[in-house]
Chains A and B, each alone.
Chain A
Amino acid sequence: MNAHDVEIPVVSVVTSHGRQALPGGADERLIDILGRANVPWSAVSIYVRPKSGGEPRLTACLDLTLRDFVDASEILLYFNRNVNPFLFTPTDFAVIESDDPGAEATEYIYQRFDNEQGGTETFLKKLSPAEGKSIIADRVGDTIRAHVPAGSDLVVGVSGGGDSNALLYGLSQLTDHGITVHPVILKGIPDWDAGVPRAQALCDTYGLTLRIIEADEVKELLGIPKDAVPLIDRFEREFPGDDFEFMGTLLIRLALSKHAREIGTQYICTGVNLEDIVCENMFRVSTGLKPAGFPVRAIGDDIRLVFPLWLCPKRIIDGCFPKYSLDNYDARYPCFSLGRNLYYSVIYTLQSQFPGYVEQFARGMSALSLSDPVEYAYNAQLGFHVERDVPFPLLRRFQKMLSGAGSPR
């Protein structure tokens, strides 16, 4: 051993299913070694065996580098439960090439659970745009056939982004169910305006007439006067540091509902995808609220909001129209709401670490949501349907944003 060498302890993860030494350098922290091996820090109790002899000692040492352990021959990471934590390792996959080699634009990790064998099989499937589109068409078709009667008019919210482009494609392939599609896009903030040419191009492709709702019409949905103050400025003035996506969701629903009433249908839909719907309901369940209905949600007596992409992951969606997706990403504005960051991050972590589980989670929550639906009630002060009583201070602020005069309408 030369002067620069240092004797470092052996790090081993110990489970009821066996043990394995983990590689680690002298200057690496223990928590980083765990992270690289996909060992959750919260799942292990750490025992350090002294080099000087004696029994291993339970030790608080996640922050230490291996060089910091001065009297340790071995670091034993005992898994807290008797499960095999590596049964679902997403990186241990077999690769399945695209049906069109060279044309693959995206990929997805699929995991098959075999309860009888107590095992899993994991596959990394490379997907060409054509394969991605076929998946989207199948999932959209499943949902529409199950929840929208044949012959219905369906008002579709589009943005020019990857989700709604894929949604329009999926609907265009539904040739056996007689749906008439009415695409609608909103204007009024830069992200939305930038999507109009892409949405228009796609609608032209499918022979659909795109209804463009101009910024002043969007403001009218909430009773905002036609003045020079843009909607987003009103929002940011009254709710600084919050995210306009929340307002956007409401406005899209109101716009689609209005158009649906005008053409005499109750069916509206948006491009809410798998991660979106699970995120919404992860938030709801973890704050004591029951899941909100999906893939179909009754809002009042006359509107049925449908989510045809509810089992479609973004990774697959984006592979359908690669160029349009990039344009949409370039137009993104950062989200600063802690909660929105939290719930999306939880979902992406679950989805990445346990491929296939989020889909089961979604299906389970969907069953719950449909068995005991959330009821939306008309709020006369707001002029639209909401789920719960709105706290008075929040109602005042919202009305102040709409009026812009510092007092409620």
Chain B
Amino acid sequence: MREAVSPVQSSNFGLKEQAVELIRAAGPSRMASLGVAELESFRSGASFVPASKNGLEVICGASCEVGAQ
């Protein structure tokens, strides 16, 4: 799974200096096994993705200023 944040917040400021694989190199296909019903459940019926992980937009708003740095 690709993840948005490092689990340790305080050490994240230096990430921009680190070489990482943001764009994964082409390689052999990975395989997975999921049924159509499960795929469709998250395509057509998943919970909406909130702006903030904990839904703070209800209190703070969800404009582009949220978390802008």
Contact = CB atoms under 8 A, between A and B. Distances in A.
Same complex: yes
Contacts of B44: 139, 311, 359, 363
Contact of B39 (A17, A21, A123): A123
Contacts of B68: 81-82
Interface residues of A, number: 52
Nearest to A94: B32
Interface of A: 13-22, 37-38, 81-87, 89, 92-97, 99, 110, 112-121, 123, 125, 127, 131, 134-135, 138-139, 311, 356, 359-360, 363-364
A229 B37 CA distance: 51
Contacts of B15: 16-18
B16 A19 contact: yes
Contact of A110 (B22, B33, B43, B47): B43
B40 A15 contact: no
A115 B55 CA distance: 10
A19 B47 CA distance: 32
A30 to B, nearest CB: 16
A264 B69 CA distance: 61
B46 interface: yes
* Chain A at the B interface: SS class: mixed
Sorting the interface of chain B by its residue count into under 10, 10 to 19, 20 to 34 or 35 or more gives 35 or more
Interface string B29-69: 11111101101101110111110010000000000100111
Kindly name the residue among A19, A37, A87 whose own CB sees the greatest number of chain B CB atoms within 10 A: A19
A19 B2 contact: no
Contact of A125 (B3, B23, B29, B36): B36
Contacts of B53: 115-116, 118
9 smallest CB-CB distances across A and B, nearest first, come from: A18-B20, A118-B4, A94-B32, A119-B3, A119-B1, A94-B30, A20-B22, A86-B22, A110-B39
B32 A117 contact: no
Contact of A96 (B34, B37, B42): B34
B22 to A, nearest CB: 5
A297 B4 CA distance: 39
Nearest to A355: B43
Contacts of B10: none
B19 A21 contact: yes
Nearest to B32: A94
Given A18-B15, A82-B67, A96-B32, A356 B47 contact: no
Given A113-B49, A117-B3, A95 B29 contact: yes
Contacts of A311: 44
A359 B49 CA distance: 12
A356 B31 CA distance: 20
A210 B68 CA distance: 57
A144 to B, nearest CB: 15
B4 A84 contact: yes
A87 B32 CA distance: 19
Nearest to B3: A119
10 contacts: A15-B22, A17-B20, A18-B19, A86-B23, A95-B32, A112-B42, A113-B42, A117-B3, A135-B36, A360-B48
